A and B are shown apart, each in its own frame.
Chain A
Amino acid sequence: MLRVEEIEVFYDSIQALRNVSFEVKEGEIFALLGANGAGKTTTLKTISGLIIPRRGRIYFQEEDITFLPIQERVKRGISQVPEGRRVFSKLTVEENLLLGGYIRERGIKKNLEAVFSLFPILKERLHQPAGTLSGGEQQMLSIARALMTEPRLLLLDEPSLGLAPLLVRDIFHYIKEINEEGVTILLVEQNAHMALQIANRAALLQRGEVVLQGKAEDLRDMESIKSAYLGG
């Protein structure tokens, strides 16, 4: 579904990504793991179009999208939930969701119903400014807003960051549920332990390079991952 081929990204003269290649298959959960500054977020931004790579290509459903504007990528079904939730705090929950549906002419009501059945709490908060929501609720809103764009591929950047352990469990549960509805998921996580539990396949980034790639259960068993990222 998504094929990233040998992309290289630079910030000024500093190289952030070196020759990064991987493929996300339709219907799966693909986890992108790595330490802080390994290049995970940069990779996501390159896929969503916030960054244009200096070299390499990105294909989405066999179409070259490397230089496509962000909006066109959203229309084709790529949606990013960025790190730190980024809800529009002055706008109400409803307005946030409607912005998610900005590019869709039809079916906004149906999509709203769908996200409410996934996150009933949002329906209760509908007319509240998003800034007044709790951290967990904001994360749900952020995901719900992305779902309003009717994504085929959902890019999730550190959805568990800054949430209490119980909430983290919930969020991962939701991700699994979304995936079961047919949305392919590319998940970026520092919490490798949780990510590998729900992912089908995964890649490990180190200093801007993919150093490992494979089935999630294989990575889970690898000594190097265990010691470095799973705490044991």
Chain B
Amino acid sequence: MNLFLQQLINGLAWGGIYALIAIGYTMVYGVMQLINFAHGDVFMVGAFVGLVIAQLLPDKTSPLSVFLVFLSAMFFSTLLGILIERLGYRSLWRKNAPRLSLLIVAVAISLLLENSGLLLFGAAPRSFPEIIPSKSYFVGSIIFTNLQLIIILSCLLLMGILHLIVMHTKMGRAMRAVAEDSEMSALLGVPRERVLSFTFALGSALAGIAGVMVALYAPQINPLMGLLPGLKAFIAAVLGGIGSIPGAMVGGFVLGEAETLVSAYLSSSYRDLLAFLVLILVLLLRPQGLLGKGVVEKL
């Protein structure tokens, strides 16, 4: 029982990280029905920006440094997200191009980012400086670290902030309107392109933060690190019901926990298989996801 509880706690941090990335996928899907495959790489860029900034700072462990590392990762990934939308997707979106074309662009951007990263930083993993010195806490026989605590709490905080933005600001309202009926929003004068930009910015900011979190938790990074967590976060979004923000959160935590439990009780080599099996099962049995109500494109 204690082992089980321990695993649940270990899974929670990964779950939160998946959830943060999944939110970006689901929001973009909501407003433009696009699987933004480059999103996982935005997360990678966030981690590398964090690395560069952390290496530049003299006093790495001061709270100000930690704050600066997260802030700069967030800033640059936001910028990148906006650029991707502007240069990659917008012209196709305007032309009402087939979704196939958008998907291919997404894949191409992802390749560009990954291989630029490989060219700049090489393929070998780089260790991330320990900007938050690790401490462990015991509750009975269960261990958890300050890092796990920080990750989980920041995830919850960020989700709270996101909830406020989406539910209680003018732009958030416009986002939900565009997601539900894009044409109707346009007829009311809602600037859809600005909404798209904002959505990419918001999702990318969260991905950038998640990137630094993974970098701290892992604690090493490489230019291909966005690939698998990106796909898994996407699966988490599908699991929760793509297009639904609470769904992405739930899906992220469920997948994080399930993965941790599978590696603990079965074998860690099944860990990566699990996500894809979950994907196929969800698509076959409940394509609208756990929390999704909307009708999925079906025959």
Contacts and interface: CB of A to CB of B under 8 A. Distances in A.
Interface of A: 48, 50, 70-71, 74-75, 79-80, 82, 86, 88-91, 95, 98-100, 102-103, 145-146, 149
A12 B99 CA distance: 19
A70 B183 CA distance: 10
Contacts of B185: 99
Residue among A48, A88, A98, A145 with the highest chain B CB neighbour number at 10 A: A88
B232 to A, nearest CB: 28
Interface stretch (B107-115, B168-176, B233-241, B259-267): B168-176
9 contacts: A70-B187, A71-B186, A74-B188, A82-B187, A91-B176, A102-B174, A102-B188, A102-B190, A103-B188
Nearest to A91: B176
Interface of B: 170, 173-174, 176-177, 180-181, 183-191
A99 B173 contact: yes
Nearest to B183: A50
A149 B186 contact: no
Nearest to A103: B189
B177 A88 contact: yes
Contacts of B186: 50, 70-71
B119 to A, nearest CB: 40
Contacts, number: 59
B181 A88 contact: yes
Nearest to B186: A70
A82 B184 contact: yes
A86 B188 CA distance: 11
Contacts of A91: 173, 176-177, 180
The secondary-structure label for the interface of chain B is: helix
B96 to A, nearest CB: 11
A112 to B, nearest CB: 15
Pairs of residues from A and B, 10 with the lowest C-beta to C-beta distance, nearest first = A74-B189, A103-B189, A86-B184, A71-B189, A70-B186, A88-B180, A80-B187, A102-B190, A99-B177, A88-B177
A95 B173 contact: yes
A80 B180 CA distance: 18
Nearest to A74: B189
Contact of A149 (B176, B180, B189): B189
A145 B181 CA distance: 14
A50 to B, nearest CB: 7
Contacts of B183: 50, 82
A49 to B, nearest CB: 8
Contacts of A99: 173-174, 177, 185, 188, 190
Contacts of B174: 99, 102
Nearest to B185: A99
A91 B180 CA distance: 9
A102 B187 contact: no
A119 B191 CA distance: 27
Contacts of A88: 176-177, 180-181, 184
A60 B170 CA distance: 29
A79 B188 CA distance: 7
Nearest to B176: A91
B177 to A, nearest CB: 5
Residue among A89, A102, A149 with the highest chain B CB neighbour number at 10 A: A102
Given A48-B187, A71-B189, A145-B188, A102 B180 contact: no
A70 B189 CA distance: 7
Contacts of B184: 82, 86, 88
Contacts of A50: 183, 186-187
A145 B173 CA distance: 14
Given A75-B189, A99-B188, A103-B189, A86 B181 contact: yes
Residue among B181, B185, B186, B188 with the highest chain A CB neighbour number at 10 A: B188
A71 B192 CA distance: 9
A48 B188 CA distance: 10
Nearest to B171: A102
A90 B191 CA distance: 20
Contacts of B190: 71, 99, 102-103
Given A98-B173, A99-B173, A102-B170, 9 more contacts: A82-B183, A82-B184, A86-B181, A86-B184, A88-B181, A89-B180, A98-B170, A102-B190, A149-B189
Contacts of B181: 86, 88
A75 B189 CA distance: 7
